[in-house]
Structure 1
């Protein structure tokens, strides 16, 4: 065990000797050289940086070319600003399209409202016309066939046919009986064609 302790002491003393003989003088000389060079106005750090940027592995860690990095950053900024302007222009274009679509929707809604009003108006007119026509048919049903026959023969064929198709069968027979045989045959044929 004593031999083991003596072996360790020998290793420690060799390490201490190496420190005092090699490392301490090198560090002292380096510090002294740094002080002397800085007093002479030589910036050792800039020189080391320039030298380090030339070495392949160290150049990755040393920022020797700040101007190229600044130029790259400036190019990135310009590129991003251009991209922002493009996006803003596209946004304005989309907003304009949206405005146009909104105005078109508003116009179509107005047109739809007008068409609905026209439809309601036409429906009301149609209802009124149906009611008026029904009143006309009722009138022909209430007057005698002798009085209705000459009036119907004076009407246009389409109007006469429309009235005759809506009159009750008994009133129709009375009106046809009161017509001349040619007119009665003509309207009978028209009624037959209409029912087919």
Structure 2
């Protein structure tokens, strides 16, 4: 009899638990369904509302924060990598600019040097021209002096010069003046210088 009684009690316990399940769970499901319908009809976003409510629950809130922190850390890492890449690119561009500036500086120095050399050569050429012009003018003045000098005085001076200078002066004189100067020289000097004049003109 005791075993039968225990079996009955066990069956009653199972039935009692099932009844409690039916009493609590089914009305709860019904209430949730009705609430969902009411919220939907009222225009409330049930999914967003559920997220907000779950965020207020400590466990879910910590999970969301952890997820947000993970996203933030990944974003920070991406930003950091992008910054490093940009900094590297900037450094490379700065090196290229420095290289180009060095090339330009070298070229500018070469141009400045060439310009200075050109100016120096131009100055030297002008000085030579001036010197040449001055020499020509001085030579013309000398010829004019000898031409205006009496042939008797000019002849002995010219014969005292070296043949090159003497021929240079005599060749620049007018023919009439030259003849008069040669007449005042000795026969030997006149013959020598006349020969030099002929050789120069040929």
**Band of TM-score, shorter chain:** 0.5 to 0.7
Could you tell me the TM-score, scaled by structure 1's length?
A: 0.54
The correspondence for 2:136, drawn from 130, 135, 158, is 130
TM-superposed CA distance for 1:189, in Å, is 2.9
TM-superposed CA distance for 1:153, in Å, is 2.0
Cα distance change on mapping 1:75 and 1:174 into 2, 3 Å: same
Distance 1:39 1:174 in 2: 139
Root-mean-square deviation over aligned CA pairs: 4.7
TM-superposed CA distance for 1:166, in Å, is 0.8
* Uncovered stretches (5+) of structure 1, i.e. residues with no partner: 1-19, 51-63
SS in 2 for 1:138: helix
Distance 1:109 1:81 in 2: 43
Partner of 2:193: 187
8 Å Cα contact 1:161-1:191 kept in structure 2: yes
Moved more, 133-142 or 36-45: 36-45
The correspondence for 1:142, drawn from 141, 144, 148, is 148
Could you tell me the TM-score, scaled by structure 2's length?
A: 0.53
8 Å Cα contact 1:137-1:167 kept in structure 2: yes
Cα distance change on mapping 1:123 and 1:30 into 2, 3 Å: closer
* Uncovered stretches (5+) of structure 2, i.e. residues with no partner: 1-32
The aligned runs of 1:95-174 (5 Å cut-off) are 98=105, 101=108, 105=112, 108=115, 112=119, 123-174=129-180
Q: What do residues 26-85 of structure 1 show as CA deviations (whole Å, max 9, x unaligned)? A: x899689754685362249849x79xxxxxxxxxxxxx7554443232122122223334
Distance 1:32 1:118 in 2: 97
Moved more, 168-177 or 145-154: 145-154
TM-superposed CA distance for 1:129, in Å, is 3.2
Larger radius of gyration: 2
8 Å Cα contact 1:38-1:44 kept in structure 2: no
Partner of 1:53: none
The correspondence for 1:41, drawn from 37, 45, 59, is 59
Cα distance change on mapping 1:72 and 1:153 into 2, 3 Å: farther
